[in-house]
Chain A
Amino acid sequence: SQQGEEDPQALSIQEGENATMNCSYKTSINNLQWYRQNSGRGLVHLILIRSNEREKHSGRLRVTLDTSKKSSSLLITASRAADTASYFCATGASDMRFGAGTRLTVKP
Chain B
Amino acid sequence: EAQVTQNPRYLITVTGKKLTVTCSQNMNHEYMSWYRQDPGLGLRQIYYSMNVEVTDKGDVPEGYKVSRKEKRNFPLILESPSPNQTSLYFCASSLSASGTGELFFGEGSRLTVL
Contacts and interface: CB of A to CB of B under 8 A. Distances in A.
Interface of A: 1-2, 30-31, 33, 35, 40-45, 48, 88, 90, 92-101
Contact of A98 (B42, B48, B97, B102): B42
A41 B108 contact: yes
B98 interface: yes
Given A2-B42, A95-B58, A101-B42, A42 B106 contact: yes
B108 A33 contact: no
Contact of B43 (A45, A48, A88, A94): A88
Contacts of A92: 99
Contact of A88 (B42, B45, B48, B108): B42
Interface in B10-57: 31, 33, 35, 40-45, 48, 50, 56
B97 A94 contact: yes
B74 interface: no
B97 A100 contact: no
Nearest to B50: A94
Contact of B103 (A31, A40, A45, A100): A45
Interface residues of B, number: 30
Contacts of B1: none
- Interface of B, helix, strand, loop or mixed by DSSP: strand
Nearest to B40: A100
Interface string B72-114: 0000000000000000101010000111101111111010000
B59 interface: yes
Contacts of A100: 40-42
B105 A96 contact: no
A99 B35 CA distance: 13
Nearest to B39: A100
A88 B40 CA distance: 12
Given A45-B103, A88-B42, A100-B42, A40 B88 contact: yes
Nearest to B56: A94
A92 B94 CA distance: 13
A101 B43 CA distance: 9
